[in-house]
Structure 1
Amino acid sequence: MSTVANNPVVGSIAARLERLPHSRWHVKVRVLIGAVTFFEAFDHLLAASALPVLMDEWNLSTGQATMAVTTGSIGMLFGALGAGWLGDRIGRVRTVALGVALTGLASLAVAASGNIEMFALFRFLQGLGIGGVVPVAATYINEIARSDNRGRFVLLYEMIFPAGLSAATLVAVWVIPHYGWRAMFLIGALPVLIAALLPRKVPESPRWLLAKGRTEEAEAVIAQIEREVEESTREPLPAPRAEIPDEKGTGRLADLFKGRYLRRTAVLSGLWFVAYYVNHGIATWLPSLYTDTFGLDLTTALTFSLISNATGLLGNFLMALFIDRIGRRPSLIAALTGASAALAVLAIVGASSGPQVAFFASCTTFCIFAINAGLYLYSPELYPTRNRAKGAAFGGLWNRLGVIIGPIVVGGIIAAGGSLRLVFAQLAVVAAVGALIAFFAVETKGKTLEELNS
């Protein structure tokens, strides 16, 4: 049993957060955390955007190219594990700030790399930061959101991530041909400026403070938030809702694999793996496929990739609008089924031209980006405050495995002379398996984080 249980302040903090109307305070926090997420996404896709140029400049083999794009993902895997522990131990905001600083500094080092080995090493370090920031940031946003509109609140924030991916591709279309790939990584170092600002402008999660037994700090933070909300709305706050049940749990990692949490962790892990296996299995190789297989110039290849990312942004937006209405489980099932169908068309009809692949790849990213955003909402909902960052980050571990294995499998098929039909067929099958896994997901819409974990 958590030491927080039976403490009357628990329900008070949760109830006071639940009564807060949307205000400038929420906008401020989402903008600051969103800026972090934007640049993490921007840095995440830099290797894929630079890959066509790197392959020519350093005369890379397919194996070396695969290493260039997967070392960052391996770093993200370890970063997710470490950040989950840190996020529950030292706080959400401090963990995010540390990860952002590491991401930016490593980007500078990548820009100075003189060979593929140094490039891969510094991409690994950059991945440590990216992998740690995103799940912990999503955990924080979940903890300040109201239960009745948490899906829309979190997913509109999560649109920042595909926006960052789109921005990376858009900037690459112009910067790489004119200034080279190193300039992209110099731009990716900008998050260093945010790292120092974040702890001073964004308050720590009151739910986390309370779970750590820091009751006075939690009360001070929630009181300050309430004052800012009242000042911005110019109206008195509504009365808190009826008492909210207390959470249970010890905060140990082992709790993720016991009782009801075992099912939640298993389903979540499978969904994360599938979503990112498919996403990165296709996205990482698209620019190179356009140039090497279909003979398109670099600008056209990057433009097609930009269209796919922009379509994904639209999918994210529609998921934000409807997930609170139709629920998490139906949304995930529908999106995974749609992704599988789009990939199956490419496998059956055959990928015969760049524009054809770009169209169905865009249909796939429309669904996949919606799934990814939905999982960043869904993951923190499934675990109590003392384990929330660890639970979300454990899901991040499986998405990193998907990020690593997806491009390796696709690269292996291409290197072995396999057809594009086979590439898209195996991706379609994996997405279909994900849709089946989603049938076992627990529905969380409309419930407070405490009600889901009491």
Structure 2
Amino acid sequence: MPNHTYDGRHNGMRTIDNTMGDRSSAGVSGPVTRGSIIARLERLPRNAMQVRARILIGLATFFDGFDVIAIAATLPILIAKWHLTPWEIGFLIGSGSVGQLIGAFVFPWYAERGGRVKAIALSSGIIGITSIACGFAPTFAAFVVLRVIQGLGLGGELPVAATYINEISRAHGRGRFVLLYEIVFPVGLLASNALGAWIVPRFGWQAMYFIGGMPLILFFVLRKLVPESPRWLAERERMADADTAVHAFERAVKGPLPPVTHSAEFEAMANRHPKRRMSDLFGPAYLKRTLAVAMLWITCGFIQYGLSTWLPTIYRTIYHAPLQLALNLAVAASVLGVVGSLTCALLVDKVGRKPIINLSFVACALSLLLAGVFHDSSVYVVATFCAFSLGFLACGFITAYVYTPELYPTSIRAMGCGVGGAWLKVAAIFAPAIVSKTMIGGNLQVAFYILAAVPFLAAVTVHFLGIETKGKVLEQLEA
């Protein structure tokens, strides 16, 4: 009888009359177990399939960043178009975060049961179709509803994508590998700001949302071009499918593969702990890690949504900068975010995760404190401090995407990332309202001081409750 196994390249079932030839050519023998799957992944050099996965899933993450911050470039126009009150402005900014909060639970839950790639593809489809629909929104109410629905995909894509990229990489150089992928998110933020500064004044606000609809393509092609996570398949005891998925990566290696070593050691790692459930995230084994993750992601959401989305509006309404100048200053802040992220990607495997997070958050807090102290200065002075704060934030933000998945076992990794993302969304819901209230009340410096306190508290929490994960196999980090 033929043996039917899943082939991620074709999104379906393929028939293999004899798999032994494929496995022997990859230097693999013996039964397929969780330990052998881990050993084969850990011996893999960089290969074309990993590059393909990084590019395609990177496109989803790029447009996640693009669509998240598109509201910043279009907000000044929407305020005038619909004559929005300060309360409605805050509600509009926070509305997407409501959907993202739900998506941060729903899609990781689906990823634990249905697969990482399926969850990423579905979230990309939701992001794309709702972004296009936003461009046709006839009223403020319709726009808000679409932003909430789009938020489901935006909230679900990032944690699942981070989980997948971590699971297909090996311990050696994992931080650099993951972060060179994750840098597409701040690049998406930069592209959104840069294109917004050029497109919105020329083609109207709708054009931004039509461009943001491109992830819809990934819904149709991703599952055909990228294999499922072998670690997840092995965790679900789908060993034949895991064998096929890991072999898709092995076939993409140029030249001879390194030998499979330490299988017994990896087998012991894989079977050392029982499968975990979501409740274990808050149990004694992982509570400290979960608290560190919570403060880490709260900070990212609080600053990103409490400051970034407001910057063009602050520059225009408080400092009376022309629209084009306000948008250009926001672009400059995004440039520093990309520079900070790239620097972090090059250093994270040498310095470690915790030192980068702690130092970058303290520097972010100091920059925001100075912005508050000098809030009466020119728009260029305030914009400089804000840009540096976002550049430093980007270092800690991007490190969160490699650090968080490393803290949890495969059985709850996506949910752990989802809970972290949920904290970001909770912060994103309340932060714009805090900035709005203090800004409208003429207390902009108070908003900066509040914003500064958050990354400082996060640095202290991560320092005392977090663990260092540099250079360790994922299964080795299980509590």
Bin of the TM-score, shorter chain as denominator length: over 0.9
Tell me if structure 1 keeps the 8 A contact 2:374–2:382.
Answer: no
Tell me if structure 2 keeps the 8 A contact 1:64–1:116.
Answer: no
Structure 1 equivalent of residue 12 of structure 2: none
Aligned-partner Cα distance in 2 for 1:365–1:310? 9
Aligned-partner Cα distance in 1 for 2:167–2:336? 29
Structure 2 equivalent of residue 153 of structure 1: 177
* Equivalent residue for 2:73, pick from 36, 49, 53: 49
1:162 aligns with 2:186: yes
Structure 2 equivalent of residue 388 of structure 1: 413
* Equivalent residue for 1:437, pick from 442, 456, 461: 461
Tell me if structure 2 keeps the 8 A contact 1:346–1:421.
Answer: yes
Tell me if structure 1 keeps the 8 A contact 2:292–2:458.
Answer: no
Structure 2 equivalent of residue 364 of structure 1: 389
Q: CA deviation at 1:25?
A: 2.0
Aligned-partner Cα distance in 1 for 2:428–2:403? 19
Q: CA deviation at 1:279?
A: 2.2
Q: Which SS does the other structure have where 2:50 is aligned?
A: helix
Q: CA deviation at 1:234?
A: 2.1
Which amino acid letter does the alignment assign opposite residue 365 of structure 2? Answer: S
Q: Can you list the C-alpha shifts for 1:314-371, whole angstroms capped at 9, x where unaligned? A: 1111111111111111111101100011011112233422111211111111111111
Q: Can you list the C-alpha shifts for 1:142-196, whole angstroms capped at 9, x where unaligned? A: 0011111111001110100000011011111111111111111111111111211
For residues 1-150 of structure 1, the aligned pairs below 5 Å read: 9-150=33-174
Tell me if structure 2 keeps the 8 A contact 1:99–1:133.
Answer: yes
* Equivalent residue for 2:218, pick from 168, 185, 194: 194
Structure 1 equivalent of residue 329 of structure 2: 304
Tell me if structure 1 keeps the 8 A contact 2:47–2:249.
Answer: no
**TM-score w.r.t. length of structure 2:** 0.90
Structure 1 equivalent of residue 260 of structure 2: 239
Which amino acid letter does the alignment assign opposite residue 37 of structure 1? Answer: T
Tell me if structure 2 keeps the 8 A contact 1:19–1:241.
Answer: no
Q: CA deviation at 1:49?
A: 1.3
Q: Which SS does the other structure have where 1:17 is aligned?
A: helix
Aligned-partner Cα distance in 2 for 1:125–1:240? 47
Aligned-partner Cα distance in 1 for 2:372–2:429? 22
Aligned-partner Cα distance in 2 for 1:334–1:238? 39
Tell me if structure 1 keeps the 8 A contact 2:334–2:390.
Answer: yes
Which amino acid letter does the alignment assign opposite residue 113 of structure 2? Answer: R
Q: CA deviation at 1:8?
A: 7.2
Structure 2 equivalent of residue 253 of structure 1: 278
Tell me if structure 2 keeps the 8 A contact 1:351–1:420.
Answer: no
Q: Which SS does the other structure have where 2:381 is aligned?
A: helix
Tell me if structure 1 keeps the 8 A contact 2:375–2:445.
Answer: yes
Aligned-partner Cα distance in 1 for 2:248–2:454? 47
Q: Which SS does the other structure have where 2:84 is aligned?
A: coil
Task: Please tell me the root mean square deviation across aligned C-alpha atoms, in Å.
Answer: 1.3
1:336 aligns with 2:361: yes
Q: CA deviation at 1:259?
A: 2.1
Structure 2 equivalent of residue 3 of structure 1: none
1:446 aligns with 2:471: yes
Structure 1 equivalent of residue 437 of structure 2: 412
Q: CA deviation at 1:241?
A: 4.0
Tell me if structure 1 keeps the 8 A contact 2:127–2:154.
Answer: yes
Which amino acid letter does the alignment assign opposite residue 199 of structure 2? Answer: V
Larger deviation, residues 69-78 vs 418-427: 418-427
Structure 2 equivalent of residue 423 of structure 1: 447
Which amino acid letter does the alignment assign opposite residue 405 of structure 1? Answer: F
- Mark the runs of 5 or more structure 2 residues left unpaired by the alignment: 1-30
Q: CA deviation at 1:11?
A: 1.4
Tell me if structure 1 keeps the 8 A contact 2:166–2:174.
Answer: yes
Aligned-partner Cα distance in 1 for 2:375–2:316? 18
1:314 aligns with 2:339: yes
Q: Can you list the C-alpha shifts for 1:198-254, whole angstroms capped at 9, x where unaligned? A: 00000000000011110111011112221121xxx2233343345221152434211
Q: How many residues align?
A: 444
Aligned-partner Cα distance in 2 for 1:170–1:26? 29
Aligned-partner Cα distance in 1 for 2:261–2:320? 62
Tell me if structure 2 keeps the 8 A contact 1:97–1:195.
Answer: yes
Aligned-partner Cα distance in 2 for 1:58–1:307? 28
Structure 2 equivalent of residue 375 of structure 1: 400
Structure 1 equivalent of residue 373 of structure 2: 348
Q: Can you list the C-alpha shifts for 1:101-131, whole angstroms capped at 9, x where unaligned? A: 0111111221111121111100000111110
1:175 aligns with 2:199: yes
1:400 aligns with 2:425: yes
Q: Which SS does the other structure have where 1:45 is aligned?
A: helix
Which amino acid letter does the alignment assign opposite residue 260 of structure 2? Answer: A
List 4+ stretches of structure 1 deviating above 4 A: none
Aligned-partner Cα distance in 2 for 1:431–1:408? 18
Aligned-partner Cα distance in 1 for 2:363–2:277? 37
Tell me if structure 2 keeps the 8 A contact 1:18–1:145.
Answer: yes
Structure 1 equivalent of residue 24 of structure 2: none
Aligned-partner Cα distance in 2 for 1:145–1:313? 23
Structure 1 equivalent of residue 17 of structure 2: none
Structure 2 equivalent of residue 4 of structure 1: none
Q: Which SS does the other structure have where 1:148 is aligned?
A: coil
Aligned-partner Cα distance in 2 for 1:278–1:435? 14
Q: CA deviation at 1:391?
A: 0.6
Q: Which SS does the other structure have where 2:172 is aligned?
A: helix
Aligned-partner Cα distance in 2 for 1:402–1:419? 20
Which amino acid letter does the alignment assign opposite residue 218 of structure 1? Answer: A
- Mark the runs of 5 or more structure 1 residues left unpaired by the alignment: 1-6
Tell me if structure 2 keeps the 8 A contact 1:18–1:241.
Answer: no
